[in-house]
Structure 1
C-alpha cells in the first residue's frame, strides 16, 4: 500500500541555509534520533548516493537513495535499494524574501512486503511525518 506524506514550514532562514542543512546527509545521525548511521556511497556535486541506517530499539534497516540536487532550490530522492517497493521524494526550498523560505517535503513510499509493513511501517511513517520539524529544530540550533 503506497503511503504519502506532504509537509511544509515557513522558516526565518534563507533557502540556501536550509538546502545546505538537508543536503549534508553525513550530519543526520547528530540530530535525527532514528538515524543510526550514514555512509556516502557515491559523492557528487549534482547527486549523492547515500546509505542510511534507520532504527528504534532492536529494529534496524538500511536503504540507499540517490539525491539529485538543484543547488539552493530542490533535492529529489530516488530509491537505489532497500526494504521498499517504492520510495520517491522531494525537498523544495522556496525563497520568500532574502532571509526566509518555505520548505516543502513530499514523500511516497511502499514497503516491500507485509512483514516489513507491520514492523518498519509505523517507524517510517513517523520519520516521514516529523522530518520537516526535525530540520527546523536543527536550523534553530545552528542558526539561532
Structure 2
C-alpha cells in the first residue's frame, strides 16, 4: 500500500559559480564527509554522463543502504534511487544557472527532492522533520563549498537602472 509521495523544492542564489557547485554535487564519493546522515558514499560505476553510487543514510538504529543512478548533464544533476528497501521512490534534482547580472561568481540553484517511503513508520517520522532535514542537506553543500572554494562572493541586489528609488 502506497504512503504517498512527498516533495520539497528550494531556490537560492549562491556566491559560487555554477561550475563550482556542479562539481561539488557531482562528487558523490565525498558525500560521506559532509552530508548529514550519510555515513557512506561509494561510486560503483561511472560511464560517461551516468554514474551509479551506493549511499548509506540514516541514524542508528535506522540506517539504510541504497543505490542511485545519477545523470550528469550540462548544469543539471538528477539522482534516482534504483535499489532500495527504504524508498518506493526517491529522486533529487539539482539545477545550476547564471547568478545575478554582472556577478560572475554567483549562480542560481534550483533544488528539488521527491520521495515515497515503503514504510508508514518512516513516512510518519519524515513528516515530523522533513523541511529541516532537507534545509540542512542543502546548507551542508553550501558549507562544503565554503571549505573548498573559500567565502562566498557577496550576493548583491541588482542596481537600479535609473536614478529612481528602488522599492
Return the TM-score normalized by structure 1: 0.88
Match of 2:83 in 1: 81
Shift of residue 13, structure 1, vs aligned partner: 1.0
Flag structure 2 segments of 5+ consecutive residues without an equivalent: 151-167
RMSD: 1.9
Q: Distance in 2 between matches of 1:32 and 1:89?
A: 14
Return closer, same or farther for 1:124/1:84 CA change in 2, 3 Å cut-off: farther
After TM superposition, which residue ranges in structure 1, 4 or more long, deviate above 4 angstroms?
A: none
How far apart are 1:122 and its partner, in Å?
Answer: 5.4
TM-score, normalised with respect to structure 2: 0.77
1:140 aligns with 2:146: yes
Is 1:113 paired with 2:119?
Answer: yes
Are 1:34 and 1:127, in contact at CA under 8 Å, matched by a contact in 2? no
Q: What is the count of residue pairs matched by the alignment?
A: 142
Q: Select the structure that is richer in strand.
A: 1
Query: Once the 2 structures are TM-superposed, how far is the Cα of residue 10 of structure 1 from its aligned partner?
Result: 1.1
Bigger radius of gyration = 2
- One of 136, 140, 145 as aligned partner of 1:130: 136
For 1:39, the equivalent position in structure 2 comes to 42
SS in 1 for 2:44: strand
Aligned to 1:54: 57
CA deviation map 1:33-77 (0-9, x unaligned): 311101212212301111110122322011111110014x00012
